[in-house]
Amino acid sequence: MNSAYCSVAIDGPAGAGKSTIAKAAAARFGFIYVDTGAIYRTVGLAAQRAGIDRAEAEAVTALLPELSIRMDYGPDGTQRMFLNGEDVSAAIRQPEISMYASAVSAVPAVRAFLLDMQRDMAKTSSVVMDGRDIGTVVLPDAGLKIFLTASAEARAKRRLAELLQKGEDCTLQQVMDDMLQRDAQDANRAAAPLRAAEDAVLADTTDFTLEESIEYVCGLIRERFDLEEK
Ligand code: DC
């Protein structure tokens, strides 16, 4: 906590509510919200468009020099992702890109390629950053680390509700299968696997409403940094 800026690292499995909670908490304290999954999704989209098989680590690595990935914030504060100048913020949310993102994120060269971009954000602003390795690798000195989880059933139900709202056609079983496969892949990879930092606060939101989860995380931020909400 030597920097002039506060860093909050939120890690956890898919569907734990990280992005919604992190975004709301960041807004309340005037911090920038950084969704690092969106950055991996952008590489995943590039791999899919290049026709690369998800498992081909070498082909993914060879693609990296051709990629220009940029992150920006719209007037409403929403994070936008650009791939070689194109706004791909909507395209990276297609369900099949989740699995691509998970596959490319296991490639060490991809993680190295994206590391500075994530760290630089925390050098120039107070941030709430969410992902899988924020507390362990990206911001090991973050002033507050939270590992957010919930039961697989609760996570799958939340993810299903989101997808149905977007008009996607899928079942609870499909969502659960995809989510568990992605979690296993993210947790079992050699490079920066999904895991809680030793000094992370563990938060299980299975029985919390969204509002209660946001309140809980804001309470941790208030206490840790001795801050009031804006
Ligand atoms: O948070 P998300 O579901 O949008 O992330 C998509 C994938 O990106 C996830 O399955 C694993 C990868 N990821 C990662 O490896 N490290 C991060 N810090 C964030 C995401």
Return d(Cα 143, Cα 170) in angstroms, integer.
39
pLDDT at 166: 86
Q: What angle do CA 47, 139, 88 make, to 5 degrees?
A: 30
The pLDDT, as a whole number, for residue 133 is: 98
Residue 146 pLDDT:
98
Ligand 1 centroid distance, CA of 226 (Å): 30
Mutational pocket test of ligand 1: of 132, 183, 185, 188, the residue with most ligand atoms within 8 Å of the beta carbon: 132
If residue 155 lies in a helix (H) or strand (E), which one and from where to where? helix 152-165
pLDDT at residue 2, rounded to an integer: 55
Rounded to the nearest angstrom, the distance between the alpha carbon of 18 and the centre of ligand 1 is 11
Residue 52, SS3 per DSSP: coil
The answer for residues whose C-beta is within 8 angstroms of residue 113's C-beta and 6 or more apart is 43, 64, 67
pLDDT at res. 91: 97
Q: Which of 10, 40, 188 for a ligand 1 pocket mutation test, highest count of atoms within 8 Å of Cβ?
A: 40
pLDDT, block means (10 residues), the chain with 230 residues: 85 94 97 98 98 92 97 92 98 92 96 97 97 98 97 95 89 95 95 97 96 97 94
- Cα–Cα nearest to 8, from 111, 126, 133, 131: 126
pTM summary value: 0.95
> Which residues in 123-156 are b (16+ Cβ under 10 Å) and which e?
eeebbbbbbbbbbbbbbeebbbbbbbbbebebbb
Supply the pLDDT for residue 4.
85
User: What pLDDT is stored for residue 70 in this prediction?
Assistant: 96
193 alpha carbon to ligand 1 midpoint, in Å? 10
Pocket residues: Cβ below 6 A from ligand 1: 14, 36-37, 40-41, 98, 101-102, 105, 131-134, 182, 186
Indicate which residue's Cα is closest to atom 16 of ligand 1: 132
Pull the structure tokens for residue 186: 């993210």
